[in-house]
């Protein structure tokens, strides 16, 4: 039994194994020897090791990246001494935001199922691991586009202000003309036609092209999207703030808006007192940011256990990575790879000015957005992969939350294939080679998602390890209560909610044994420490 328990990966599996202890063993535990608190003795089992709740993840390979991004991303990773995963995910989300609704892909030969390459991404890692600098670095091409758009907007605004002055004078002259001709007895209907023709030629005010926003209300985001139907990127240095703000009471409509903006294809109406009605022809929002493991684990527990987060919002973060951090570090002090950087910047500029007919798109009357298909070889490969995915989703082997996450890969893989195709200047339908690259991304991301979706187990094991260290250091006497633990406010063990699952797991592993003591009031639970632990230490 001890060997079997040692290799199990989650507390749930351990508990299942513990429950297989024989009735004879349970009777033995309850019938002999003296317990540490002076009551009737009980024999103690050997303690089992506390599992490491974080499953392993695949290392990032630069072969996943479009060829035009490889030198740029790996240079960023090397100079910053951070995992390339962070910059790679940021670059792909940023590229998807620039392509937006310019072009899509139809993943079936004849069906009108349509995918817009709009992506949500998250970099998971502890504070100080260079998540934010890496993401900021890959957003520099977008910030260059922002600077160019701001300059163009200022110039257009100056020209428009000049034309408004001229327009005002023209309208004043028109009013005088109408007044004179009405006095002269001219037919008002004819004058009305002349006025309408003159008014119809008025120039509209310039609209500022927006690519990025950091902190915005949903209503303001709706206004930005109404003026920028190609889509917009929401970048948050810490995604926890956005996720928790959408959990608050009264934010149900805001949360629904983000949920509906993920696929980039639906229209949306905002009707608000004061703002009036805002029509968003196409709500297309990309999201990118970093998040620390602790806050993410809390949020994922709600998702996995059917709490507020169990509505598919977190599952839309398809490009979410939680890489291992190398213990090796070296000081890298050199200039960026200029040629690789400029090549990447040029790609973003080309995507911004993308001319769909130039890449061989198809168009017909039932699609407002031009699109590509897979070529014949890629189509066969995609159909085979889709069959395997659907079988996995229907097997019942995955948790409902993770199953929902994997279901989003139906659109993730075509999106990545299209983006890689466009970034590497592909023309015509998406090829098998490009789809293979996207499928490799899918395997890599699923591997990381499995780590991200195990927070309930991981945090339970992590708090159990923290408590075990306190027990081994004899910071607690035997027996002790849960309150004896959390009153110390030790890191990770500061609340009853933190402590309870850790106590339960350590009891399952034979470190502790609980007993209920009647005190005249509320019963009190005492935890006795396995004396074998302290004998081994002494």
pLDDT at residue 256, as a whole number = 87
pLDDT (average), residues 333-350: 97
Please give the DSSP secondary-structure letter assigned to residue 362.
B
Average per-residue pLDDT in the chain?
85
Cβ burial of 375 (10 Å; 0-12, 13-18, 19+) is middle
Is the model more confident about 43 or about 171? 43
Regarding whether 84 and 155 lie in a shared domain, the answer is no
pLDDT at residue 276, as a whole number = 65
Regarding whether 448 and 327 lie in a shared domain, the answer is yes
Does the pLDDT of residue 31 top 50, yes or no? no
Residue 387 token pair: 């069959």
pLDDT at residue 307, as a whole number = 53
Residues 6+ apart with CB under 8 A from 523: 516, 517
Domain final position from 419, 438, 455: 455
Give pairs for 305-309: CB < 8 Å, separation 24+: 305/456, 308/247, 309/243, 309/247
Is the model more confident about 52 or about 118? 118
pLDDT at residue 27, as a whole number = 42
Residue 246 token pair: 């959408």
Regarding whether 416 and 377 lie in a shared domain, the answer is yes
Annotate 278-300 with b (16+ C-beta within 10 A) or e (fewer): eebebbbbbbbbbbbbebbbbbb
Residue 199 token pair: 């008014």
Does the pLDDT of residue 172 top 80, yes or no? no
Share of the chain above pLDDT 90, in %: 51
pLDDT (average), residues 470-486: 92
Tell me whether residue 345 is in a domain.
Answer: yes
Tell me whether residue 515 is in a domain.
Answer: yes
pLDDT at residue 306, as a whole number = 60
pLDDT (average), residues 518-527: 83
Does the pLDDT of residue 78 top 50, yes or no? yes
Tell me whether residue 429 is in a domain.
Answer: yes
pLDDT digits (tens, 9 = 90+) for 366-421: 668 999 999 999 999 999 999 999 999 999 988 888 999 999 999 999 999 999 99
pLDDT at residue 179, as a whole number = 81
Tell me whether residue 91 is in a domain.
Answer: yes
Rounded Cα gap, residues 411 and 415, in angstroms: 6
69 neighbors 345 (Cβ within 8 angstroms): no
Is the model more confident about 534 or about 323? 323
Tell me whether residue 346 is in a domain.
Answer: yes
Does the pLDDT of residue 429 top 90, yes or no? yes
Regarding whether 340 and 399 lie in a shared domain, the answer is yes
Regarding whether 461 and 451 lie in a shared domain, the answer is no
Cβ burial of 121 (10 Å; 0-12, 13-18, 19+) is buried
pLDDT at residue 405, as a whole number = 94
pLDDT bucket at 99, cuts 50 / 70 / 90: very high
Regarding whether 425 and 479 lie in a shared domain, the answer is no
Tell me whether residue 309 is in a domain.
Answer: no
pLDDT (average), residues 444-452: 94
Total domain count, the chain: 4
Tell me whether residue 312 is in a domain.
Answer: no
Does the pLDDT of residue 41 top 50, yes or no? no
Give the residue numbers spanning the domain of 162.
Answer: 147-200
Tell me whether residue 332 is in a domain.
Answer: yes
pLDDT at residue 532, as a whole number = 86
Regarding whether 49 and 174 lie in a shared domain, the answer is no
pLDDT at residue 34, as a whole number = 42
Does the pLDDT of residue 3 top 50, yes or no? no
Taking CA atoms, 230 is separated from 92, 97, 104, 209, 355, in Å, by 17, 8, 12, 10, 14
pLDDT at residue 517, as a whole number = 86
Regarding whether 420 and 340 lie in a shared domain, the answer is yes
Which of 46-55, 138-147, 331-340, 504-513 is predicted with the least confidence, judged by mean pLDDT? 46-55
Regarding whether 464 and 447 lie in a shared domain, the answer is no
Regarding whether 196 and 80 lie in a shared domain, the answer is no
Taking CA atoms, 258 is separated from 147, 222, 309, 311, 357, in Å, by 27, 10, 13, 12, 31
Regarding whether 96 and 46 lie in a shared domain, the answer is no
Domain final position from 304, 331, 350: 304
Does the pLDDT of residue 5 top 50, yes or no? no
Does the pLDDT of residue 51 top 80, yes or no? no
Between the CA atoms of 149, 150, 155 and 158, what dihedral angle is there, to the nearest 10 degrees? 140
Is the model more confident about 180 or about 511? 511
pLDDT digits (tens, 9 = 90+) for 123-133: 999 888 899 99
Is the model more confident about 309 or about 440? 440
Domain final position from 410, 425, 455: 455
Does the pLDDT of residue 212 top 60, yes or no? yes
pLDDT at residue 201, as a whole number = 58
Regarding whether 390 and 338 lie in a shared domain, the answer is yes
CATH label of the domain that carries residue 524: 1.10.10.10
């Amino acid at each position: 039994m001890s060997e079997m328990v040692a290799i199990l990966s989650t507390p749930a599996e351990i508990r299942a194994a513990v429950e297989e202890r024989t009735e004879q063993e349970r009777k033995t535990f309850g019938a002999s020897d003296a317990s540490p608190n002076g009551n009737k003795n009980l024999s103690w089992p050997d303690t089992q090791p506390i599992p490491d709740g974080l499953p392993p993840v695949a290392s990032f390979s630069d072969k996943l990246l479009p060829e035009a991004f490889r030198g740029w991303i790996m240079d960023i990773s090397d100079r910053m001494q951070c995992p390339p995963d962070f910059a790679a995910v940021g670059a792909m989300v940023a590229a998807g935001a620039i392509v937006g609704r310019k072009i899509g892909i139809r993943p079936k030969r004849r069906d009108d199922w349509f995918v817009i390459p709009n992506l949500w991404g998250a970099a998971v890692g502890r504070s100080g691991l260079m998540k934010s600098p890496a993401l900021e670095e890959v957003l520099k091409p977008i910030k260059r586009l922002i600077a160019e758009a701001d300059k163009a907007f200022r110039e257009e605004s100056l020209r428009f202000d000049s034309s408004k002055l001229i327009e005002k004078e023209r309208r004043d002259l028109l009013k005088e003309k109408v007044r004179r001709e009405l006095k002269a007895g001219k037919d008002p209907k004819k004058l009305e036609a002349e006025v309408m023709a003159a008014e119809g030629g008025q120039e509209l005010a310039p609209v500022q092209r927006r690519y990025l926003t950091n902190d915005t209300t949903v209503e303001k985001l709706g206004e930005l999207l109404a003026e920028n139907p190609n889509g917009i990127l929401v970048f948050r240095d810490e995604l926890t703030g956005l996720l928790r703000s959408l959990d608050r009471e009264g934010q149900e409509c805001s949360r629904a808006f983000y949920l509906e903006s993920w696929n980039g294809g639906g229209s949306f109406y905002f009707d608000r007192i004061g703002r009036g009605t805002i029509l968003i022809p196409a709500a297309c929002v990309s999201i990118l940011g970093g998040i620390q493991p602790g806050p993410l684990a809390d949020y994922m527990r709600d998702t996995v256990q059917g709490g507020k987060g169990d509505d598919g919002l977190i599952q839309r973060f398809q490009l979410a990575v939680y890489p291992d951090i190398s213990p090796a570090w070296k000081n890298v002090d050199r200039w960026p790879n200029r040629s690789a950087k400029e090549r990447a910047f040029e790609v973003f500029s080309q995507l911004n000015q993308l001319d769909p007919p130039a890449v061989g798109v198809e168009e017909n009357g039932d699609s407002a957005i031009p699109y590509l298909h897979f070529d014949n070889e890629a189509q066969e490969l995609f159909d085979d992969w889709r069959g395997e995915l659907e079988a996995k989703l229907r097997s019942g082997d995955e948790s409902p939350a993770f199953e929902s996450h994997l279901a989003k890969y139906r659109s993730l893989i075509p999106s990545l294939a299209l983006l890689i195709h466009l970034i590497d200047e592909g023309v015509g339908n998406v090829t098998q080679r490009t789809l293979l690259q996207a499928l490799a991304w899918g395997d890599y991301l699923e591997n990381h998602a499995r780590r991200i979706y195990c927070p309930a187990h991981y945090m339970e094991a992590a708090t159990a390890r923290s408590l075990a260290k306190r027990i081994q250091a004899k910071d607690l006497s035997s027996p002790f209560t849960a309150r004896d633990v959390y009153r110390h406010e030790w890191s990770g063990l500061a609340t009853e909610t933190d402590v309870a699952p850790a106590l339960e797991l350590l009891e399952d592993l034979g470190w502790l044994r609980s007993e209920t003591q009647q005190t005249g009031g509320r019963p009190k639970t005492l935890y006795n420490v396995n004396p074998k632990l302290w004998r081994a230490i002494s």
